[in-house]
Amino acid sequence: MLEWLIVGGGIHGTHLALVLIQGAGVEHERIRVVDPHAEPLARWHACTANTGMAFLRSAAVHHIDLHSDALTQFAKAPAGKPFARFVEPYRRPSVDLFRAHALDVIERSGVQQCWTTDRVCGIQRINGGWQVASTAGSMEARQVVLAMGAGEQPAWPLWAQSLGMMDAPIHHVFAPALPHQSRPVASCRCCWWRYFGSPNRIGISRTATAKRDTADAPCPTQASTRQ
């Protein structure tokens, strides 16, 4: 029986695996991270690529490593220097630096030794732990952590669904990959929706980073779609 089974290898699941391996000294073979993607942080990479964002919203102390200054130290090391860019406020690191640091941490910790590419589809209590069903079989673990994120349950408000039915080029930022031409062209100040697309054919997508990056535009909840 495994000691720990982590469902989801995104930011949180990967960080937890690191805490167990490096912080608590749990051996790799007693931990399993189950995720449908081949590598850690796949959803994070997809979402940041979708928005084209160059810098994080969060400060340099937020990353997947154990110590708060780890990313800052990495930025001074040869592997991090080429990506060492920060912006104010809060000294936010570049997406490239965050990514390079995360890959470095993952490689050094050996998190991928705990990795299983699979999807969990059920869980039930058994004596001394849990039996977890996946598409490839089943596993038993004393402790199970659900770190599945929200990316596979995107919320589409009714107005966005209606626009989709009218063939507007509307996308959700959680989509695996937005169409290439869909770059943000405007954003709304009163909520976190962002317009995507070419100027004569504009779509809308939801993102948490919309507020500061792009020009103002009418709120899609109040204005009709421009096409």
Ligand X SMILES: Cc1cc2nc3c(=O)[nH]c(=O)nc-3n(C[C@H](O)[C@H](O)[C@H](O)COP(=O)(O)OP(=O)(O)OC[C@H]3O[C@@H](n4cnc5c(N)ncnc54)[C@H](O)[C@@H]3O)c2cc1C
Interface with ligand X by CB under 6 A: which residues?
7-13, 34-37, 42-44, 47-48, 51, 56-58, 62, 119-120, 147-149, 151-152, 173, 207-209
CB of 118 to ligand X, least distance (A): 7
Q: Can the peptide bond before residue 89 be classed as cis, meaning omega within 30 degrees of 0?
A: yes
| Element of type H or E holding 143 | strand 137-146
Instruction: Please identify, using beta-carbon distances, which residue of 37 and 211 lies nearer to ligand X.
Output: 37
Residue with Cβ nearer ligand X (117 or 227): 117
Q: Which residue is nearest to ligand X (CB)?
A: 10
Query: Which residue, 178 or 202, has its beta carbon nearer to ligand X?
Result: 178
If the CB atoms of residues 124 and 127 are measured against ligand X, the closer one turns out to be 124
Number of neighbouring beta carbons within 10 Å of residue 94: 18
Minimum CB distance to ligand X smaller for 58 or for 227: 58
Burial class (CB in 10 A: 0-12, 13-18, 19+), 125: exposed
* Shortest CB 89 distance to ligand X, Å: 13
What are residue 171's phi and psi, to 5 degrees? -130, 155
Q: Give me the least distance between CB of 79 and ligand X, in Å please.
A: 21
* CA distances, 110 to each of 28, 96, 140 (Å): 8, 21, 22
Measured CA to CA, the distance from residue 99 to residue 85 in angstroms comes to 12
Residues 6+ apart with CB under 8 A from 223: none
Residue 65 C-beta: closest distance to ligand X, Å? 14
State the nearest-atom distance from the C-beta of 26 to ligand X, in Å: 19
Smallest separation (angstroms) from ligand X to the CB of 158: 21
Q: Are 146 and 8 in contact (CB under 8 A)?
A: yes
Which residue's CB is nearer to ligand X, number 34 or number 102?
A: 34
